[in-house]
Amino acid sequence: MKFPLGDIVATPAALRAIQDAGQDPDFFLDKHSAGDWGEVDGFDRRANDEALVSGDRLLSAYRTLKNVRLWIITEAEDDKGNRAATTLLLPEQY
């Protein structure tokens, strides 16, 4: 784990999409917390790498086995690397 996740929450739609694909939220959370940002563009990838140092927000994007896009966002709590919360959601819910 490269950073703390803080409180973990998920929207009902994200949980339903994960369950419908026969997957577990921990699969995605483990990838996110290990620094595997999934399907983010170069800008977000660099921002995430910088956020590991600065303590800013982190964003990962994945697809379930049923090809539903899923985001995981870990919000910054302070500039010391503490994290307030990590949320699993669908992009349209942002």
pLDDT band at 78, cuts 50/70/90? confident
Q: Is residue 1 part of a domain?
A: no
pLDDT tens by residue, 21-43: 999 999 999 999 999 999 999 99
Q: pLDDT above 90 covers what percent of the chain?
A: 86
Going 86 to 88 to 91 to 94, the CA torsion angle's sign is negative
Examine the pLDDT at 92 and tell me if it is beyond 90: yes
In a domain, 55, yes or no: yes
Across the chain, mean pLDDT equals 95
Instruction: For residue 25, tell me if it sits in a domain.
Output: yes
Name the DSSP class of 3: S
* Residue 2 placed within a domain: no
- Domain total for the chain? 1
Task: Classify residue 31: in a domain, yes or no.
Answer: yes
Domain presence at residue 15: yes
Predicted pLDDT at 79: 72
Q: What is the mean pLDDT of residues 8-31?
A: 98
Q: What are phi and psi of 76, to 5 degrees?
A: -75, 145
Residue 78 forms part of a structural domain:
yes
Cα separation values, 78 from 26, 48, 55, 61, 82, Å? 25, 16, 7, 23, 6
Query: In the predicted model, is pLDDT for residue 80 greater than 80?
Result: no
Which of these, 77, 86, 93, lies nearest to 29 by C-alpha position? 86
For residue 67, what are the domain limits?
A: 7-93
Residue 76 lies in a domain: yes
